[in-house]
C-alpha cells in the first residue's frame, strides 16, 4: 500500500514536527525532497517490471563494523569474511563488512541459527568496539502492581480488528527493507498514522529519527508524562522487513508488522481511554533491525548519550503466530531478569494467559540494543525459539499464516498496556 498523496504526508509531518520533544526535533527531509525521491523510485520500479530499487540518489554506504559471536562464524559462508577480525574478546569478534553483504549475513544467520539478525552492525568502529565491553549495570528498582481499577476499564478496549488493519497496511508494501523505496514509504506512512493520535493531544508528538547511513527512518511517538516527564518508558518493535536481502518481496506480516501493530494498538487503547501517564512513554518503530539492529542501536545510544532516564524497554518482535502450547515466552538472555519477572506477574495478575521463558542468543532483536546501553529491556515472544513462525523472511510471511486474525497478537497488546500503565505511574 502506498500513500497516493505525498504532499499530504508532508503537510501532516510538518504539523507534528512542531510538537516534537526537545532533543528529537526532526528535520524530516534534511533538505532533500524525499517525496520526489520516493515518487521517482516508484516510477522507476514500475518501468523495471516491479523490481523496487533503492532510493535513487543515495550515496553508497560506507563500510560497517559487525560484532558477532566467534562460534557462529564457522557455520557461515566464508566468502562473507574478507579478513581476520579487527578486534575480539573471548566470545565476540568485530569484522568490517560491506553494507551490501549484510542481507546475505542475515540470511546465513537465519538459516544456520534461526536468529534474526543475531549480530550488531555499526557505522563506526568505535561503536562496534563497545560491544566487546561489559554493558553498564542496571540500577535495581522496585516493581509494584496496583493499577487494577484503571486497567479493568482499559484492557477490554484492546481490539483485534485494529491490529489486523495495521498488519494489513504494513504487509501490503512490497517490502520494508531499510534501503528500499517502499521501506522509506512505510516509515512515512506510519509517521502519518501516528500523527493522527496527536490531534487534540498537545502532550503527544510524533518525530522521525533519521539515520545517517540509510534512508529508512525510525518513528517515535512521545506521550509526555504529567508528573515526571524526565522518566521514560519505551515500547516498540522493528518496522523493517527482509527476505534474503535486497529488494525481494518481504511482506513481514509476523516479522514484524505484528509488533508494530501491537505497539499501535497500545497507543490507540491509551488514547481511547483518555489515559495520561505520570512518566513519559515513547513508542518507537525501529528502522533496520534485520541488518544488525542498526536503527535501535543508534536510537538507544542517542538516548544514553543524552542521559535519558529509560526506566524500562519492552520489545515487541513477532507476536501473531501461535507455534507453541503456551501463550507468551519471555526471552531470558540479554534481557533484564527483574523486569522479566515483573512482566510474568503482570500476565498472572491481569490475564489468564500462560507463559514461560526461552533464550534467543546474541543480538537476536532490538531489546539487545537497550540492554547493552544499560537499560532494563525485555522481549515477550510468540512461541518457543524452535517453534516460531516458519514463514518469516520469506515472501509468504503473510497474515493468512496466522489465520487472518490477530488473536495471538492481542495478548501481547494487553500485556503491553498493563506494562505501560504499571510502569509509567
Task: Determine which one of 54, 265, 317, 382 is catalytic.
Answer: 317
> Least distance from C-beta 20 to Zn ion, angstroms?
27
Phi/psi class of residue 113: alpha, beta or left (left: φ > 0; alpha: ψ in -120 to 50)?
alpha
Per the listing, cell 518508558 goes with 233
Per the listing, cell 509531518 goes with 13
Binding site for Zn ion (CB under 5 A): 255-256, 317
- Termini Cα distance of the chain: 38
Question: Cβ distance 196 to 220 under 8 Å?
Answer: no
122 catalytic, yes or no?
A: no
317 catalytic, yes or no?
A: yes
Q: Which is nearer to Zn ion, 131 or 317 (CB)?
A: 317
Question: Cβ distance 278 to 226 under 8 Å?
Answer: yes
Q: What is the DSSP string of 30-56?
A: TTS-HHHHHHHHHHHHHHTTS--PBPT
Question: Cβ distance 141 to 311 under 8 Å?
Answer: yes
327 catalytic, yes or no?
A: no
Q: Which is nearer to Zn ion, 147 or 175 (CB)?
A: 175
> Least distance from C-beta 157 to Zn ion, angstroms?
27
**Cα–Cα distance for residue pair 153/192, rounded to 1 Å:** 28
Q: Which is nearer to Zn ion, 318 or 415 (CB)?
A: 318
Q: What 3-state DSSP class applies to 121?
A: strand
Which grid cell is 226?
504529567
Task: Determine which one of 72, 122, 211, 238 is catalytic.
Answer: 238
> Least distance from C-beta 240 to Zn ion, angstroms?
9
Beta-strand ranges (E) seen in 89-213 are 92-97, 120-122, 204-209
Per the listing, cell 510524533 goes with 206
> Least distance from C-beta 117 to Zn ion, angstroms?
8
Task: Determine which one of 101, 290, 382, 397 is catalytic.
Answer: 290
> Least distance from C-beta 237 to Zn ion, angstroms?
7
**Cα–Cα distance for residue pair 46/37, rounded to 1 Å:** 14
How many angstroms separate the Cα of 311 from the Cα of each of 314, 327, 346, 370?
10, 26, 17, 11
**Cα–Cα distance for residue pair 373/168, rounded to 1 Å:** 33
367 catalytic, yes or no?
A: no
Question: Cβ distance 173 to 243 under 8 Å?
Answer: no
408 catalytic, yes or no?
A: no
Question: Cβ distance 207 to 17 under 8 Å?
Answer: yes
> Least distance from C-beta 118 to Zn ion, angstroms?
11
> Least distance from C-beta 365 to Zn ion, angstroms?
6
Helix axes 258-272 and 181-195, enclosed angle (nearest 10): 10
Q: Which is nearer to Zn ion, 41 or 116 (CB)?
A: 116
Question: Cβ distance 68 to 362 under 8 Å?
Answer: yes
**Angle (CA) 415 421 422, round 5°:** 85
Question: Cβ distance 418 to 262 under 8 Å?
Answer: no
> Least distance from C-beta 393 to Zn ion, angstroms?
9
Task: Determine which one of 101, 123, 217, 289 is catalytic.
Answer: 289
Cα-trace Rg, the chain: 20
Catalytic center residues: 238, 255, 289-290, 317, 393
Amino acid at each position: 500500500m502506498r500513500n497516493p498523496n505525498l504532499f499530504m504526508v508532508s503537510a501532516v509531518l510538518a504539523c507534528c514536527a512542531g510538537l516534537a520533544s526537545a532533543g528529537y526535533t526532526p528535520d524530516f527531509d534534511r533538505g532533500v525532497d524525499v517525496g520526489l525521491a520516493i515518487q521517482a523510485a516508484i516510477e522507476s520500479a514500475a518501468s523495471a517490471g516491479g523490481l523496487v530499487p533503492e532510493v535513487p540518489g543515495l550515496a553508497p554506504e560506507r563500510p560497517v563494523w559487525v560484532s558477532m559471536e566467534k562460534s557462529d562464524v564457522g557455520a557461515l559462508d566464508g566468502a562473507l569474511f574478507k579478513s581476520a577480525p579487527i578486534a575480539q574478546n573471548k566470545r565476540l569478534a568485530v569484522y568490517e563488512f560491506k553494507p551490501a553483504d549484510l542481507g546475505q549475513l542475515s540470511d546465513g544467520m537465519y538459516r544456520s541459527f534461526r536468529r534474526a539478525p543475531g549480530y550488531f552492525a555499526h557505522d563506526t568502529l568505535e561503536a562496534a568496539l563497545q560491544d566487546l565491553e561489559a554493558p553498564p549495570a542496571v540500577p535495581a528498582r522496585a516493581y509494584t502492581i496496583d493499577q487494577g481499577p484503571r486497567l479493568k476499564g482499559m484492557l477490554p478496549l484492546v481490539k483485534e480488528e485494529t491490529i489486523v488493519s495495521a498488519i494489513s497496511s504494513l504487509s501490503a508494501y512490497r517490502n520494508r527493507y531499510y534501503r528500499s523505496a517502499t521501506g522509506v514509504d512505510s516509515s512515512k506512512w506510519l509517521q502519518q498514522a501516528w500523527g493522527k493520535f496527536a490531534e487534540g493531544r498537545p502532550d503527544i508528538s510524533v518525530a522521525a529519527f533519521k539515520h545517517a547511513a540509510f534512508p529508512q527512518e525510525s518513528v517515535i511517538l512521545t506521550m509526555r508524562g504529567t508528573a515526571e516527564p524526565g522518566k521514560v518508558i519505551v515500547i516498540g518493535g522493528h518496522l523493517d522487513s527482509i527476505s534474503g536481502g535486497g529488494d525481494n518481496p518481504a511482506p513481514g506480516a509476523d516479522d514484524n508488522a505484528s509488533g508494530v501493530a501491537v505497539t499501535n494498538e497500545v497507543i490507540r487503547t491509551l488514547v481511547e481511554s483518555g489515559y495520561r501517564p505520570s512518566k513519559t512513554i515513547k513508542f518507537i518503530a525501529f528502522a533496520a533491525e534485520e541488518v544488525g539492529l542498526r536503527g535501535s542501536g543508534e536510537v538507544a545510544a542517542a538516548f544514553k548519550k543524552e542521559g535519558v532516564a529509560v526506566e524500562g524497554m519492552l520489545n515487541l518482535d513477532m507476536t501473531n503466530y501461535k507455534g507453541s502450547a503456551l501463550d507468551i515466552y519471555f526471552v531470558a538472555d540479554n534481557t533484564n531478569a527483574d523486569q522479566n519477572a515483573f512482566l510474568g506477574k503482570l500476565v498472572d495478575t491481569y490475564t489468564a494467559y500462560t507463559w514461560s521463558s526461552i533464550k534467543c542468543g546474541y543480538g537476536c532483536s532490538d531489546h539487545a540494543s537497550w540492554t547493552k546501553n544499560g537499560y532494563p529491556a525485555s522481549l515477550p515472544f510468540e512461541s518457543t525459539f524452535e517453534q516460531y513462525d516458519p514463514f518469516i523472511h520469506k515472501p509468504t510471511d503473510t497474515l493468512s499464516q496466522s489465520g487472518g486474525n490477530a488473536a495471538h497478537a492481542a495478548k501481547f497488546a494487553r500485556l503491553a498496556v498493563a506494562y505501560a500503565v504499571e510502569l509509567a505511574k
